[in-house]
Structure 1
Amino acid sequence: MIREHSLVKPYQGLGTSIPYWDFLGSTMVTNNYIRLTGDLQSQSGAIWNTVACYLRHWEMQIHFKVHGRGRDLFGDGFAFWYVKEPMMGGDVFGSKDYFTGLAIIIDTYSNHNGPHNHGHPYISAMVNNGTLHYDHDRDGTHTQLSSGCVAKFRNLEHDAYMSIKYAHDALTVMTDIENKGIFKECFSVAGVKLPVGYYLGVSAATGDLTDAHDIISLKMFDLSTPDDDVLENRENIMPSASFFEPPRDHIEDPKPSSLSTWKKILLLIFGVIVICGCVFIGGLFYTKQKEQQRKRFY
């Protein structure tokens, strides 16, 4: 394990600082976890490694917890980053759009009604050279490297882990969310070329829908071996990938209702009362009309 690229308990150094790490936004450091967002609306937070990573082959293991009060509606999600420009907030799960580098997107936003071909939470990957836009309305499927996977990690009573491995130009993402201590492959894609000297980070965001996003540990491992051949210089290359998923139709997602359950119930009751009142008044009017017709007849 490479200490300067890892984050383990106890987190804090002198004062409120964390050795080798800096944080943004709503991030809160406790003794047991680092909370990027609370279970509150419109929050975003991030934690970034302050030391550039020059490992050619590596594996990042993320110990995390995502939890909230929402049962059917929740969001938005979090992301792991290996990018050229760290410490920049934005609209992509709390970090910058049009980034340069690699993003592993963990999208929990559940309020999708379009022709989505997967469930949520959903894990996918994106490599960007600074020119691509992450489209939330399409879950980024027009720029993802390969088909991702659904991972039901919300509100688990046991620990959840994710492994992100980059070696020999192949990216492999695995999860351990079944409390078996075994990583299960989510997806693997070859032909991914990343430069060295970029920065590691994790960010998260909430919108109208919410979740608490907690990072418990980040452990970076050097996978290089003495048998590795002499490698080309990767300091100045542009991030690239040889495969992307085909795009799908753009579907606008409706905004989730901000009304609470009790407000919805009260509105329903009010609507029923109004309808009953209209029926009652209409009945009185109809009866009066009939009575007047009978009086004229006699």
Structure 2
Amino acid sequence: MCNQKSIPHKFIFLLLLITPILAEWNTRDYIRREHSLTKPYQGSGMSVPYWDFLGSTIVTTNYVRLTPDLQSKAGAIWNTAPCHTRNWELQVQFKVHGRGKDLFGDGFAIWYVRDRMQSGPVFGSKDYYQGLAIIFDTYSNHNGAHNHQHPYISAMINNGTLHYDHDRDGTHTQIAGCEAKFRNYNHDTHISIMYKDDTLIVSTDLEGKNAWKECLRVEKVLLPTGYYYGASATTGDLSDNHDIIAIKMYELDLLETQNKDEDRSHIIPSAASFEAPRERIEDEKPSMSGIKTFLWMMCIAIIVIVLVVMGIMWYQKRQENSRKRLY
């Protein structure tokens, strides 16, 4: 006869054994392979299934490097399949590292946009795009007024008419952002970009704690279906290695309030909290210090005195020549 007291222990043991399997099965059930990039990267030959590459991008066994730690490089990776999912989450494992201690740059961006494989000035991709950009800006050119330090993560929604202003670090067109020190870590760094029920939530795991920390949350964001995921990076006079290690896209369930038959392919990207770009105002020139003002006035006084003396000398010489003619 079985010991009745041992049954609960056996049940608990069996439950603990099955739970991880169910959890793993549940994750795989929602992951979309056609929008994901995981090791091993190579398919047949040098191609990677569902992904195309641009510029300086190279593929190794451990990472996809968008740019090396060299000046004036640009690279990108683009998904070949459009996303027709309404609610989704994109989890990206990345690494930004380089030799620079105080100066480094320029940064990289993760995209959900209409036009793929378009090189350009916005961290390696095109300006005036349509869609969403999550920008990882590592270099501050200290132009314009902003109240944050770098590195900095920001979100920008573009309907195709907006210009990303590097001279102002994009602060005039961002919808939200947060400071995030993501450079030169020895452990893995991750970002989660979730779009659900017209709400954009960006979270990070930069400290290796396996826990998400919310960076920004913006409601009433409209993004169409049928756009493409991508990542791009650029370097200028300053540089960094910009590596993508993994991209995982999860399809999220529709809410009961959402109409599953609604056609969202023609939506124009927008955000209710978006502020129209402010008029560009050049930085005010610093006022002269008291010493500089004094020196400037003294120079003017010396010039005036010299002119007066030369005038007197010229007048006296003229008078002397006039007297000589009389005699």
TM-score (norm 1): 0.81
Structure scoring higher RCO (CA < 8 A, sep ≥ 6) equals 1
Aligned pair count reads 252
What is the root-mean-square deviation in Å for CA atoms of aligned residues? 1.7
- 1:1-80, aligned counterparts within 5 Å? 1-80=31-110
Alignment check: 8 A CA contact 1:137 1:251 kept: no
Residue 254 of structure 2 is aligned to residue 203 of structure 1: no
Query: 1:50: Cα distance to partner?
Result: 0.1
Aligned counterparts of 2:144 and 2:85: Cα–Cα separation in 1? 40
Q: Which residue of 2 aligns with 1:239?
A: 269
Residue 197 of structure 2 is aligned to residue 168 of structure 1: yes
Query: Aligned partner of 1:188: which letter?
Result: R
Aligned counterparts of 1:143 and 1:48: Cα–Cα separation in 2? 24
Gaps of at least 5 residues in structure 2 are 1-30, 284-327
Aligned counterparts of 1:252 and 1:22: Cα–Cα separation in 2? 40
Query: 1:138: Cα distance to partner?
Result: 1.0
Alignment check: 8 A CA contact 1:137 1:252 kept: no
Q: Which residue of 2 aligns with 1:90?
A: 120
Q: Which residue of 2 aligns with 1:102?
A: 132
Q: Which residue of 1 aligns with 2:16?
A: none
Aligned counterparts of 1:185 and 1:53: Cα–Cα separation in 2? 24
Query: 1:145: Cα distance to partner?
Result: 1.0
> In terms of Rg, which structure is larger?
2
- 1:169-188, aligned counterparts within 5 Å? 169-188=198-217
Aligned counterparts of 1:251 and 1:26: Cα–Cα separation in 2? 35
Q: Which moved more, 1:218-227 or 1:208-217?
A: 218-227
Aligned counterparts of 1:202 and 1:186: Cα–Cα separation in 2? 19
- 3-state DSSP class of the match of 2:34? helix
Query: 1:112: Cα distance to partner?
Result: 2.2
- 1:116-265, aligned counterparts within 5 Å? 116-146=146-176, 148-225=177-254, 227=256, 229-231=258-260, 232-245=262-275, 250=280
Task: Give the 3 Å change call, closer, same or farther, for CA 222–196 of structure 1 in structure 2.
Answer: same
Gaps of at least 5 residues in structure 1 are 254-298
Query: 1:246: Cα distance to partner?
Result: 7.0
Query: 1:224: Cα distance to partner?
Result: 1.7
Q: Which residue of 2 aligns with 1:265?
A: none
Alignment check: 8 A CA contact 1:57 1:167 kept: yes
Alignment check: 8 A CA contact 2:187 2:208 kept: yes
Q: Between the two proteins, what is the percent identity of the paired residues?
A: 66
Aligned counterparts of 1:189 and 1:226: Cα–Cα separation in 2? 18
TM-score (norm 2): 0.74
- 3-state DSSP class of the match of 1:45? strand
Aligned counterparts of 2:151 and 2:209: Cα–Cα separation in 1? 20
Residue-by-residue CA offset, 1:110-165 (whole Å, 9 max, x unaligned) = 4425433111110111111111000011111111112x101111001111000000
